[in-house]
Amino acid sequence: MKNKTFLFSKIFKTIFIYYTLSVFILIFLYSLVMIPMQKETNIEVMHSEAKTLASSISLICADAMITEDDSFIIEHNLAVVNKNNNIYEIIVSKTSGEYLSAKYKHWALAKSIPKSFKELEKDNPTYAILSNKELGKDIFHYVYPVNVSGINWGWIHISYYLDTYNQKMQNIYKAIMLLLGALFIATLVVSYLIARYITSPILKLRESATLVANGNLSERVSIKRDDEIGELARDFNTMIQQLENTQNKLKQSHAELEQKVDERTLELLEKTQELEELNEDLDVRIKSAVSKNSAQEQMLIQQSRLAAMGEMIGNIAHQWRQPLNALSLILQNLHYAHESGELDKEIIEHSLKKGEKLTENMSKTIDDFRNFFQPNKISQHFNIYESIVSAYELISGSYKNNNITLKILVDKSIEIDGYPNEFAQVLLNILTNAKDALKTNNIQNPCVTITSNIQEDTLSIEVLDNAGGIDESILTKIFAPYFTTKDKDAGTGIGLYMSKMIIENNMGGKIIADNTKDGAIFKIYLPYKKGKNNA
């Protein structure tokens, strides 16, 4: 079981794998460097051998090339090819365009040589590994210029078989593979020993720590080493000894604490009894205060309704004044037509149609006011511009009678979630206060402007008048309940308070008042989500 735990521990696997991979990568990189070096070394050996041979042939055949003694050149080169099994062919290329080829027991006079051979004929010795179509495999081809007294008389081409070279490279590959295998096995063994050397004491520490965690404070680690792990084991044993001492002290303290707890429990029981008596008295007081607050709240709501009803009746009077005058004129016209004898069926029908139309408009006014003051119970998706217009229509008569201009500069496409009637009631309160201020201050060219703006996730509605503003001393009090600057008969002081409750409590927004150079400005901020509200 211990061996299994040791071999499959995470730290053992980590050390073993990383060390093995590191050594194997170093060996592999070494092989990648050595193989090209061995190839280059073998090529250099062939190059050196070819250079020596070509230099010898050049010295011996130079006079024959000058005197054009081809038989001597062929005889000498045939002898060289027949003695050296690694040479496939020797070609003497003359600048005159003749080519003397010598192969094993065979020679020939040719008028051309392969293009790849011709490309190697330069002022200095050159070599390359080329493909030979006749043999069907690669050869090592060396070209040596023949220069006598500074004059180039041609080149000597020597082609070597690559069999010996290939055999050497295969032997090198085998040797490297055997070396890799041996080093890999050695690496596995060394990695195992190193991982075990590091992991074994750590696992012992872990086992001891587990026993200590389960409450066995008599456990000690038996690791005797002069390195950091040995120091860790000694520190661990010291820590366990201190824990054991601390546990004994805690047991003693616990016994003393239990005695003190019993004493405090008796005291707490006495205090608890006193608190229960106080709580009973406090509960009675709270219920009494809640009852009083509830009654005051109901009174406030009732006053708000009565104030709204009074405003409604006053605005209905403004809205009815014009149609009542028109009805009066219709009745007078009927009276005059009757006295003058001109009253006929056509005049009566025309007057009835006009009267019916006027009474329908008056009835519609009643419906508009009744729907407006009926609160919304469920949040709705509504259009801001339409809600503002509906609020203004209720007091448009009083605005026109006082020559007050209303500018609604609001985006007609803005829609939000909320309570449209309550929102319109807020605007109605603000517009009514603005009308009263403009009328009281006798402002020339009275004007109220409503604008809208959207910034990220907030919609702001601003109502600005030119009535001169609100006194700075009362600016922070205007939203308080029952606070008013009007006469007792003209205002209750709960309109702006209810407006604040609607905006902040019901619609999750904010309303503030401030002054500008021309007058007062009321700013309403409401939550706005473009993807949802402006769909």
510/314 Cα distance (integer angstroms)? 29
Indicate whether 424 pLDDT > 80.
yes
Q: Is residue 13 part of a domain?
A: yes
Structure confidence by residue, pLDDT tens digits, 137-169: 888 989 999 888 888 888 999 998 888 888 888
Structure confidence by residue, pLDDT tens digits, 19-50: 778 777 887 787 777 778 878 888 888 888 88
410/395 Cα distance (integer angstroms)? 19
Q: Is residue 372 part of a domain?
A: no
Place of tokens 């040479």: 87
Return mean pLDDT, the chain.
78
Least confident interval from 19-28, 317-326, 458-467 = 317-326
CA 172 vs. chain centroid, Å, equals 55
Place of tokens 């792990």: 229
Q: Residues 43, 141: contact at Cβ < 8 Å? A: no
Mean pLDDT of all residues in 359-374? 57
157/145 Cα distance (integer angstroms)? 9
**Residue 463 pairs with which residues in a beta bridge?**
450, 522
pTM of the complete model beyond 0.85: no
Mean pLDDT of all residues in 39-64? 85
Banded model confidence at residue 459, pLDDT cuts 50, 70, 90: very high
Instruction: Work out the percent of the chain whose per-residue pLDDT is above 70.
Output: 78
Structure confidence by residue, pLDDT tens digits, 441-451: 999 999 999 99
Mean pLDDT of all residues in 66-75? 84
Which of 157, 185, 213 is the endpoint of a domain? 185
**Residue 231 pairs with which residues in a beta bridge?**
none
Residue 384 buriedness (CB in 10 A; 0-12 / 13-18 / 19+): buried
Q: Is residue 246 part of a domain?
A: no
Q: Is residue 450 part of a domain?
A: yes
Indicate whether 305 pLDDT > 60.
no
DSSP 152: E
Least confident interval from 79-88, 203-212, 425-434 = 203-212
Indicate whether 507 pLDDT > 80.
yes
- β-pairing, 99-103 vs 106-110, is antiparallel
Least confident interval from 74-83, 486-495, 498-507 = 486-495
Q: Is residue 230 part of a domain?
A: no
In CATH, what number is assigned to the domain containing residue 516?
3.30.565.10
The angle subtended at Cα 438 by Cα 436 and Cα 440, nearest 5°, is 65
Instruction: Work out the percent of the chain whose per-residue pLDDT is above 90.
Output: 13
pLDDT at 446: 94
**Residue 511 pairs with which residues in a beta bridge?**
524
82/69 Cα distance (integer angstroms)? 21
Mean pLDDT of all residues in 307-318? 58
Q: Is residue 271 part of a domain?
A: no
Which of 139, 160, 185 is the endpoint of a domain? 185
Domains of the chain: total:
2
pLDDT at 489: 46
Which residue would you say has higher pLDDT here, 251 or 509? Answer: 509
Mean pLDDT of all residues in 111-128? 87
pLDDT at 511: 93
Q: Is residue 328 part of a domain?
A: no
Q: Is residue 347 part of a domain?
A: no
Which of 121, 153, 185 is the endpoint of a domain? 185
Which residue would you say has higher pLDDT here, 214 or 298? Answer: 214
Task: State the number of CA atoms in the 13 A half-sphere of 220 facing the CB.
Answer: 10
In CATH, what number is assigned to the domain containing residue 174?
3.30.450.20
pLDDT at 41: 83
Q: Residues 395, 318: contact at Cβ < 8 Å? A: yes
316/328 Cα distance (integer angstroms)? 18
- Note the maximum CA span of the chain: 162
Which residue would you say has higher pLDDT here, 289 or 461? Answer: 461
pLDDT at 454: 92
Domain interval for residue 181:
2-185
Q: Residues 89, 98: contact at Cβ < 8 Å? A: no
